[in-house]
Structure 1
Amino acid sequence: MHNLDKRPLGLYEKALPNKMDWKTKLESAKEAGFDFIEISVDESDGRLARLDWSQKKRDEIKELIARTGVRISSMCLSAHRRFPFGSEDEKTRERAREIMVKAIELSVDLGIRIIQLAGYDVYYEESNDRTKELFLEGLKEAVTLASRAGVILAIEIMDTQFLGTITRVMKYINELKSPWLKIYPDLGNLSQWAINPEGELELGLEHIVAIHIKDTKPGLFKCVPFGEGTVEFTKLFSKLKKLDYQGAFLIEMWADNNQSYNQKRAIKEVREARIWVEEKMKKGGL
């Protein structure tokens, strides 16, 4: 049963080795002290195939969730980096829509409440006024589809300038005016692009549904060990305390899949990250 007496802390799926099956991932997250996992549907063919899981496979996952008590509460849908809404290629946009539909359907089946959208108009193509226009069109349709299913879409604060701050995302929040379109800040990305990250959090507070906790440094947005980057976590957590933010946090980190992992080592790494983050939270008053 979900514990409503504490703020939920989740773990990004990729923090655990790729070779782990879902049973082991959920059990490992639980043993390391996490409340939920964020599933990844990225641009790789292997993870895109999850959108076509059979009903039997979906039922198996739901049974594991029930057995372990660790939910899959959110989905990191970064597949749109490869198949973006803003592409000037019509077939790519059709694929983007198909991915969106299937992601919503999978979310409904697994009890996922939030789909995190990658805030790119395009990634591998050149951005221009037309790609931004097409991105908005695709986003509008995605929000319509999600609203019919009761699933929240949340735009991530990204590792590129296009939607690298809450101020930039608010343009789309204000344009679409939907309770089903929200913001999913990444403290690491936000700290690199925003002059005043604390002010950005205050600006978007009423639209924030979850927050990624990740360390970064200038020009490096991934795989920076906690404490080795430039993110001022204590200050940001202190600001969130003052704002009375009560939503979920999620630790975003990556396992080194080039190394040999056993379950014990994987659990140790993510547990140590959790303890480090929780110490910063405590210093910030959370």
Structure 2
Amino acid sequence: MLPASRRDFLKCAAGLAVGSALTIPGWQSQSVAGTRENKGKIFKSNKGGFIGSDEAGTVQTLEEYKRLGFDGIEGESPGLNVAALNAAKGKVDFPVHGLVDSIHWKQRLSSPDPAIREAGLQGLLKAIHDSKAVGGTTVLLVPGKVTGPDETHDDVWKRSIIEIRKAIPVAESQGIKILIENVWNGFCETPEQMRDYVDEINSPWVGVYFDIGNVRKFGKPEEWIALLGPRIGKLDVKDWGVKNGFCRLGEGDVDWPAVRAALKQIQYTGWATREGKDKSLADTAELMNELLDL
């Protein structure tokens, strides 16, 4: 049986609840009579790390996302002008659902250098406070990177858990969840490893920020979704193929109907955020609508 706090997390970690037809090779819409199955269940977002640098520019950005039918946007910390972003949000009425801890690759929580780990922890704490300040609910975190004999898979596992646990009381006090992203960092490249890693942390304030495209290199995202289940707090939306790498949504090797079925099976509701580029922002909005049935 899972520890008590993990059971609590699995009960409440479904995420936040808040059509045009395209021709995509190898895929047909499952929508019936224009009804989108995930409309009102999965909410469309985009990475917008540049937001918040100044009020006027951010207003224009948020207006464009809103016009195209996005439900929200995700930013980055540090480097965020909280006051400018909140002023822009007030004018446009458009949510920032969370932030990415943008220093996690260099100031890694898995570094063999204690000073670097401390810098990484302080960056995570700042991202938590910034996310709260702009109305977010999460911080995306890459917990470390396997680099060699001084930073092995076991090192990343042990060192990052120690640092993340230091941040949990702050995350709880701010009401911000720390979500671990699966990336190409040599760490937790099977769903069983990711499950066990998150479960060892054993906190309702730590879950998974599941990247659909990142995992396609190692396996099938629908299988990861089924195993991780309600540990998944939010989704990053990418496509990836053996022949074309990261690519336009719908043109890689991700089986989108299978992904939708897996998300339905775990009763996922929450944010799905596009990371990467399609033909245009409008193209991204339409592709997400089709592939996720929004």
TM-score range, shorter chain: 0.7 to 0.9
- 1:244 aligned residue: 267
- 1:136 aligned residue: 161
CA deviation after TM superposition for structure 1 residue 244, in Å: 2.2
**What is the Cα-based RMSD across aligned positions, in Å?**
2.9
- 1:80 aligned residue: 104
- 1:13 aligned residue: 48
- 1:44 aligned residue: none
Please, which of 196, 211, 222 is the counterpart of residue 171 of structure 1?
A: 196
Contact 2:179–2:233 under 8 Å retained in 1: yes
Greater relative contact order, per chain length (Cα 8 Å cut-off, separation 6+) = 2
What code does the residue aligned with 2:289 have? E
Structure 2: state its 5+ residue gaps. Answer: 1-15, 19-38
1:97–1:122 Cα change, 3 Å: farther
- 1:229 aligned residue: 252
CA deviation after TM superposition for structure 1 residue 270, in Å: 1.2
1:226–1:273 Cα change, 3 Å: same
Flag the structure with higher helix content: 1
Deviations 1:65-92 (A, max 9, x none): 1221211111122311010011111221
Contact 1:166–1:185 under 8 Å retained in 2: no
1:32–1:124 Cα change, 3 Å: farther
Moved over 6 A (4+): none
Q: What's the TM-score, normalizing by structure 2?
A: 0.77
Superposed counterparts of 1:147-186, under 5 Å? 147-186=172-211
Deviations 1:125-170 (A, max 9, x none): 9522444321221121122321222110000111234133432221
Superposed counterparts of 1:1-286, under 5 Å? 4=18, 6-7=40-41, 8-13=43-48, 21-41=57-77, 48-50=78-80, 53=81, 58-121=82-145, 127-128=151-152, 129-194=154-219, 196-218=220-242, 222=246, 224-254=247-277, 269-282=280-293
CA deviation after TM superposition for structure 1 residue 40, in Å: 2.5
Deviations 1:156-185 (A, max 9, x none): 111234133432221222112111001111
What code does the residue aligned with 2:288 have? V
| Number of residue pairs the alignment of both structures matches | 255
What code does the residue aligned with 1:23 have? V
Contact 1:213–1:251 under 8 Å retained in 2: yes
1:215–1:178 Cα change, 3 Å: same
